[in-house]
């Protein structure tokens, strides 16, 4: 039976509705989840705009960062930052290459570069062509927690080759 005009109109309306809902709810949008952690043990930042992770290798920051990571980031980046079965990139490799730089001053700059990339990416999120691959965390995570998470992720690097 050929489609009647009403069939046709219904189908067009259905397509229109589908498109409208697709536009309103981008497929990848997620609500960022604030971690519930006690971050009071973290030393206040001497320089809140600083470009280098002030908590590198600090065991308390690493423990707090791990807790925050597993609450807020693990759903996409893997539990304990093991991304082998995760949809999102392995964060342990950010700055990994710096360990192989022998010259201390160059090594420091290499790590600062990685820190700047980490902090700014986390703050801004990853939005490409209007599609949100990762939500921005700027208003969710205080800078102290971003650095604590960075400290955790850096040590988690060593656990996998
Ligand atoms: C909803 C999933 C999701 C959550 C939750 C999430 N991310 Fe991401 N993240 C992604 C995806 C996907 C990418 C890769 C985006 C791209 O490059 O297109 C990414 C990229 C990144 C990058 C850049 C990685 C690189 O190799 O360039 C960093 C850093 C990062 N995320 C940190 C975090 C941290 C820290 C958290 C927790 C506070 C977090 N992400 C939570 C999905 C997520």
Domains annotated for the chain, with CATH where assigned, are 5-39+48-159 (1.10.760.10)
- Of how many residues is the chain composed? 161
Distance 2 CA to ligand 1 centre (A): 50
89 C-beta closer than 6 A to ligand 1: yes
CB-ligand 1 contact for 121 (6 Å cutoff): yes
Residue 21 confidence class, pLDDT cut points 50, 70, 90: very low
| The pLDDT of residue 19 is above 90 | no
5-15 average pLDDT score: 56
> What is the rounded CA–CA span in Å between residue 23 and residue 21?
5
DSSP 96-160: GGGGG--SHHHHHHHHHHHHHHHHHHHHH-EEETTEEEE---TTTS-HHHHHHHHHHHHHHGGG-
Q: How much is the pTM?
A: 0.84
CA of 89 relative to ligand 1 center, distance in Å: 7
Q: What are phi and psi of 32, to 5 degrees?
A: -65, 140
Summarize pLDDT for 30-89 with one digit per residue, the tens: 789 999 999 999 999 999 999 999 999 999 999 999 999 999 999 999 999 999 989 999
pLDDT at site 110: 98
How far is the C-alpha of 37 from the C-alpha of 107, rounded, in Å?
Answer: 32
Q: Of all protein residues, whose CA lies closest to atom 30 belonging to ligand 1?
A: 122
pLDDT in tens, 87-139: 999 999 999 999 999 999 999 999 999 999 999 999 999 999 999 999 999 99
Nearest to 91 by CA among 64, 70, 63, 61: 70
DSSP string of 57-90?
T-HHHHHHHHHHHHHHTHHHH-GGG-GGG-SS--
Is ligand 1 within 6 A of the CB of residue 50? Answer: no
């Amino acid at each position: 039976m050929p489609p009647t005009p009403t069939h046709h109109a219904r189908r067009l309306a259905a397509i229109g509705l589908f498109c409208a809902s697709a536009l309103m709810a981008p497929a990848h949008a997620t609500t960022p989840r604030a971690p519930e952690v006690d971050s009071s043990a973290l030393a206040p930042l001497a320089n809140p705009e600083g470009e280098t992770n002030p908590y590198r290798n600090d065991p308390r920051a690493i423990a707090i960062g791990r807790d925050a990571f597993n609450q807020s980031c693990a759903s996409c980046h893997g539990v304990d930052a093991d991304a082998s079965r995760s949809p999102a990139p392995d964060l342990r490799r950010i700055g990994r290459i710096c360990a192989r730089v022998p010259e201390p001053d160059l090594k420091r700059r290499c790590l600062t570069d990685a820190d700047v990339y980490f902090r700014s990416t986390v703050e801004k999120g990853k939005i490409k062509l209007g599609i949100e691959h990762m939500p921005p965390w700027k208003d969710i995570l205080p800078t102290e927690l971003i650095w604590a998470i960075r400290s955790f992720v850096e040590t988690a690097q060593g656990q996998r080759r």
